Amino acid sequence: MAAILFPCGPAGSVNLAPTSSWTPADLGSALRLWVKADTGITSSGGLITQANDQSGNGFHLVSSGSVRPTLNATGYNSLPSIDFTASSGTVMGTQALGGAVPVALNLGTSCSFFFIGRYSTASDNFGRIMSYLGPATIVAVGTGVDYNTADSLACLHRNGALSELQGTQNSANLAIGAVSPSTNIRVLMVYSGAANTATLYVNNVQITQTTGVAAFDLGTTGVLAVGTTIQASSGTIGTLAASFTGTIAEALVTNTALNSTERGNLDTYVVARLGA
């Protein structure tokens, strides 16, 4: 059932009757990938092999390693979740198995990365929640360096030493904000190439913004991974260091920098559907 959108006044106060419904599908072509732990999950023995993309673009997250994320039927507010654990957590990626050409995520110079869930204190230092590797980096490096070239981006990761979330691009740390481990959070990282900014929102509140971000272009093709850094060479996705340990109930990626209205709609939607 779609969430009901309540127009809000200052500080999120509800001041009007509901007028419309909204889901991420209303983002239109800007929505590139959308996964939900309670929809379109393929698992075997409780281990997830594929999370179907709900955007309609077919960018399914697949897990090809010998260890896979766990499907937890009651992992987030008694609702299903995708759990990355010390024993079963590994990368899930959008690259087709056995295919040498990355899929066309078409992220370009502005993009947004969102998840609702939590991370645990067991997460590796700089454990990747989401990571993106462009084709130039895949060809030039082939070993999963996801942060030091213009077509790659460590979209959202944890600095375990300081209990904070941040992004990294062209070797620069961006939009760093302190967060509490083992706590349910709604996290949105917005990158605007046009404005050269990176902005981190937690629970729909801006935590920090970095201006003067180096110009980047993620291009039309590339590999998105959830759970660790990417080793994307010879058409495979493999697990490297910096693994994420935690829970994801829902996640999405857009090829635009979400504006304030879209951010509010997204937050209202996930809270109504999954709880805070």
Series of mean pLDDT values for 10-residue runs along the chain (276 residues): 38 36 97 97 90 92 78 96 74 60 81 95 82 74 67 86 84 86 94 88 95 85 79 53 86 97 97 95
Q: Is 9 among the domain residues? A: no
Q: Is 252 among the domain residues? A: yes
Total domain count for the chain? Answer: 1
198 within 8 A of 167, measured Cβ to Cβ: yes
**What confidence score (pLDDT) does residue 169 get?**
83
Q: Is 64 among the domain residues? A: yes
**What confidence score (pLDDT) does residue 91 get?**
66
Q: Is 3 among the domain residues? A: no
Q: Is 22 among the domain residues? A: no
The residue written with tokens 């082939």 in the block is 142
Structural domain including 200 reads 31-274
Instruction: Identify the CA nearest to 133 among candidates 162, 84, 95, 183.
Output: 95
Dihedral angle of Cα 85, 143, 133, 66, to the nearest 10 degrees: -30
Q: Is 246 among the domain residues? A: yes
173 within 8 A of 156, measured Cβ to Cβ: no
d(CA 158, CA 3): 30
List all residues 6 or more positions away from 249 whose beta carbon is below 8 Å from its beta carbon.
Answer: 36, 37, 38, 75, 76, 77, 79, 80, 81, 82, 116, 117, 274
d(CA 34, CA 58): 10
Q: Is 60 among the domain residues? A: yes
Cα–Cα separations (whole angstroms), residue 255 to 152, 220, 244: 14, 10, 23
**What confidence score (pLDDT) does residue 13 get?**
31
The residue written with tokens 């213009």 in the block is 150
* Complete DSSP assignment for 209-241: EEESPPP----S--EEEESS-EEEETTEEEE-S
Q: Is 37 among the domain residues? A: yes
CATH number at residue 132: 2.60.120.200
**What confidence score (pLDDT) does residue 214 get?**
80
